[in-house]
A and B are shown apart, each in its own frame.
Chain A
Amino acid sequence: MTAVELIGPVAAAPTAMAALVVAVGFLRTLLPGRDAATSADTLGLGLELLLAAGLIRLATVDSLAALGAVAAVLIVRSVAVAGLRHALRRIVDGT
């Protein structure tokens, strides 16, 4: 088994973990005393895990086109995390 073949499943694991974290976050939002911010917080953690999966995949990417696609996904996730964090701050500050 080559390194590239090995990294595929390794990168899939954080993706599955991210899905689980986000799903649990949404389910917990339904509990009494929770609000949308709780779900948004777990969504941020899920995005961070997806970012990790993307970075692991980046180790095996060869072509420039594939590299650009991975980079675009990573940048979108980074922007989403930053935006989410900004929105959470505004919710907490009440502004």
Chain B
Amino acid sequence: MEEAIRDAVGYVIPVVEATGAIVIAAGVIVSFVLWVLSELRLRTVSYEAIRLTLGRFLALGLEFQLGADILGTAVSPSWSEIGKLGAIAGIRTVLNYFLAQDLKRAGATGPDDNRPDGGPAKGGIAALLRQPVARSPGAG
């Protein structure tokens, strides 16, 4: 029975790890597309909004990878393996914490920058920095 559970968890871990990597890769693609659309002036999206979008994907991907690490501790046979998993989990938890702080801070400074749909930005660094270069459609 115990052996069967270990085998099952052993199959699940790579799937969860891969899911985390896919989520992060999807975030990279989405944010890159938003950046390209913004650069081509096809859509108004602030840099802060793009970074927040990517940050959310990173945080979710990290959660999946952390989940895989936690599953790993259930089947790790040696203290060495458990120690390694603990180190990975610790690093990911710290990173996740800082990412969450970053998202919270950015959300507090510019609530409208949270909108990746390009809503009007009332605050935030990127919105303020964009002001001097704001152009009307068709201009230069």
Q: A: which residues have CB within 8 A of B?
A: 3, 7, 10, 13-14, 17, 21, 24, 33-35, 37-38, 41-42, 44-45, 48-49, 51-53, 55-56, 58-59, 64, 67, 71, 74, 78, 81-82, 85, 88-89, 92
Q: B: which residues have CB within 8 A of A?
A: 14, 17-18, 20-21, 24-25, 27-28, 31-32, 35, 39, 47, 50-51, 54-55, 57-58, 61-62, 65, 84, 87-88, 91-92, 95, 98, 102, 125-126, 128-129, 132-133
B90 nearest in chain A by CB position: A71
Q: How far is the CA of A48 from the CA of B55 in the complex (A)?
A: 8
Q: How far is the CA of A3 from the CA of B20 in the complex (A)?
A: 13
> Is B95 within 8 A of A48, CB to CB?
no
Within the complex, the shortest CB–CB distance from B31 to chain A, in Å, comes to: 7
